[in-house]
Amino acid sequence: MQLPANLKYQFNVGTKGVQLFAGTGFYLAAGLKGTDKGSYESTSGTVSPVDNKVSFTNTGSTATNTTTVKPVDFGYNFFLGTEWKKFQLKATYSKGSSKVFTSGSTDIVNSVFSFTVAYFLKTKK
């Protein structure tokens, strides 16, 4: 779950009600539930499948079939988009600043591209 705090600049383009916007800000996120799937290649070249539950904790876990990830992440994001009538399209890039996972001498941080399509509902006044 992610809680962003962003600044957004929005401006009109032409006379058809089209607006463009751009913004940036910071986020705080918490891991709720996850699965680690893929493959792992050892230093000897052996490839093994991975299908683990994710444990969100600040202390290491020695449980088998479990990947331990820190529960809290924070970072920054940039976004661009357009609005027209009740529709919005937005592309966002988020980059974590905290190390959420360490494997050997490698520190892992979150890096996410996301795309949003939104339809705004009419509100009663």
Asked if 31 contacts 56 with a C-beta cutoff of 8 angstroms, the reply is yes
Q: What is the pLDDT of residue 15?
A: 75
Q: Which domain holds residue 27?
A: 2-119
Asked if 97 contacts 76 with a C-beta cutoff of 8 angstroms, the reply is yes
Q: What is the pLDDT of residue 44?
A: 87
Q: What is the pLDDT of residue 61?
A: 66
Q: What is the pLDDT of residue 23?
A: 97
Residues 6 or more apart from 66 whose CB is under 8 A from it? 52, 53, 54, 55
pLDDT, tens digit, 9 for 90 and up, residues 72-110 = 999 999 999 999 989 999 999 999 988 887 767 778 888
Query: Is 26 inside any structural domain?
Result: yes
Query: Is 46 inside any structural domain?
Result: yes
Query: Is 124 inside any structural domain?
Result: no
Q: Which range is least confidently modeled, 22-31, 40-49, 99-108?
A: 99-108
Query: Is 125 inside any structural domain?
Result: no
For residues 8 and 59, which has the higher predicted lDDT (pLDDT)?
8
Taking alpha carbons only, the member of 116, 70, 87 closest to residue 17 is 87
pTM: 0.77
Query: Is 39 inside any structural domain?
Result: yes
